[in-house]
Chain A
Amino acid sequence: MSHDATPPRLPPKPIIGLERLAGVCLVAFGLFAYYASSELPFFTQGGVGSGLLPRSLSVLVTLMGIIQIVVTWNEPQETTGRWPIRDMLPVLLGIFLFAVTIRGFDFGAFKVPVLGMAVATPLAIFCSGLAAKDVRVGELAIFSVVLSAICIALFRYALGLSMPVAPWAIGY
């Protein structure tokens, strides 16, 4: 966890540039939202239709994107830097595993049974914890079990939230 040891390199030349890319993203989002709301009526006999706000906002967002591209066109551009998707993946997977196990999930091809908090919570903690560069697997395993027990006691019993705990063992 010391400071980055790699010697300073010259920044790579940006392909599109951070600020221009930001504008492009806005345009893409605006156009997508316009497409998604294109079937909604703008006005109804009585007044404002359900499409008025979404569609005019999509146009405005697109417009802001264009302005962003124009005003930053001549500015010196930076790259967006590294996108450490690999470092983030365990966390995303942990969140996903929690979601599919807590109350079961139907993928069509196969079904995940209702495993409840007793399985979903330690899975989420352990899996996401693997994202740390300084991970200690043994410590993380013990930690995930202990913290899960605390979570179950806190959310299910102290706060009385109605979540499945371990239906396969204790019925709910």
Chain B
Amino acid sequence: MLKNITRRSALLAGLAMMSAVALPAAAQDYPSKPVTLVVSYAAGGGTDAIARVFAARLETALGGRVIVENRPGAAANIGTDVVASADPDGYTLLVGNQGPMVVNPHIFNLKNDPAEALDPIAMIADASLVVVVGPRLAVKTMEEFLAKAKEGELIYGSAGNASASHVATLLLGQTADIALKHVPYKGAGPAVNDLVGGHIDFMVTTIPSVIGLVGDGTLTALAVTGTERFPELPDVPTVAEAGVPGYSASAWYGVLGPKGLPEDVRARLTAATAETLSDPEFVAKLRNDGGVPSTLSGQAFADFMASERARWGEVVESAGIKVE
């Protein structure tokens, strides 16, 4: 702790001297001051954890300090606004996920449309979700699950209204043409608790939140929602393989900046992100947390976001989710 303070104060003194003679920042010196990585959620959530581990590694790749700043509020739309209205100098970046980036534009009247106000730099990770059932609905396969669902409305829990877990289940209901009843919770934790306790039938949730309970047999994993099987759960098929062709859903995270980043700054950031994502230690941590590192950057990431946005738009629209 103490060592840290001295190191930081030395750094502080150094920075103070640097900025005293600072000229208008040229991209070669980027970053010449700490980079702020905005997280649209309060400290302590999943996106926050990914951002902090990512920031720690990005510091090495960029050769400058990266500070995580939590700006929660208004269903994660405040973080979007903060970055959208920041100077496009590369010193204010956003860690965005599918919620505020592609689902919220369909649900809220946003001040800043992420597709127009933000510049996608690179995707960090893509995390598949998993369909799990508890003791209340004792089925062992996706086939049995679908048969049961045709018999009567099943009750599912979600991590919250419009969360990845919610919209992924909506899509499942729509693709497989089954009627489902939604019980929103505040976060995955309490929902999984009620699933284990037999108060709800099933959930579509992040793999880390249930993998221990699946390994033990307390819960049964029917299928993963991604396009590929998850290495830790080799026997669990994808939803598409298990009888709902065409289905895929995942939770993803990416880095974005305000619109109009200078080309060289953006190149620097893209390279630094790529370097971070090729660090085996960081990748191992991502995988432990259920994520797969991504290779999408720049235009490819923008295209991916556009297709995700169109897709989820249809889902939330036909489910009638809209907030005035």
Contacts and interface: CB of A to CB of B under 8 A. Distances in A.
Interface stretch (A16-24, A76-84, A129-137, A164-172): A164-172
A158 B9 CA distance: 11
A156 to B, nearest CB: 9
Contacts of B18: 171
Interface stretch (B67-75, B140-148, B268-276, B309-317): B67-75
Contacts of A162: 36, 67-70
A157 interface: yes
Interface in B50-74: 67-70
Interface residues of A, number: 9
A171 B19 CA distance: 7
Contact of A172 (B1, B5, B22, B33): B33
Q: Is the interface of B mostly helix, strand, loop or mixed?
A: mixed
Contact of A157 (B8, B22, B34, B69): B8
A171 B33 contact: yes
Interface in A94-150: none
A154 to B, nearest CB: 10
A100 to B, nearest CB: 17
B21 to A, nearest CB: 12
Nearest to A170: B16
Q: Interface residues of A: mostly helix, strand, loop or mixed?
A: helix
B9 A171 contact: no
A157 B174 CA distance: 50
A46 B68 CA distance: 41
A172 B31 CA distance: 13
Given A157-B5, A158-B1, A171 B15 contact: yes
Interface string B86-120: 00000000000000000000000000000000000
Chain B interface category by residue count: 10 to 19
B12 interface: yes
B34 A172 contact: yes
Contacts of B181: 46
Contacts, number: 30
Contact of A158 (B5, B12, B33, B36): B5
Given A162-B67, A162-B69, A170 B1 contact: no
Interface in B1-40: 1, 5, 8-9, 12, 15-16, 18-19, 22, 32-34, 36
Interface string A54-97: 00000000000000000000000000000000000000000000
B16 A172 contact: no
A133 to B, nearest CB: 39
Interface centre among A46, A158, A172 (most CB of B within 10 A): A172
Contacts of B5: 153, 157-158
Nearest to A163: B69
Nearest to A46: B181
B32 to A, nearest CB: 8
A22 B9 CA distance: 53
Contacts of A169: 16, 19
A157 B65 CA distance: 13
A162 B37 CA distance: 10
Contacts of A158: 1, 5
Contacts of A171: 15, 18-19, 22, 32-34
Interface in B194-231: none
Contacts of B8: 157
16 contacts: A153-B5, A157-B12, A158-B5, A162-B36, A162-B68, A169-B19, A170-B12, A170-B16, A170-B19, A171-B15, A171-B19, A171-B32, A171-B33, A171-B34, A172-B36, A172-B67
> What are the nearest 6 A-B pairs in CB distance?
A171-B33, A162-B69, A170-B16, A171-B19, A162-B67, A172-B34
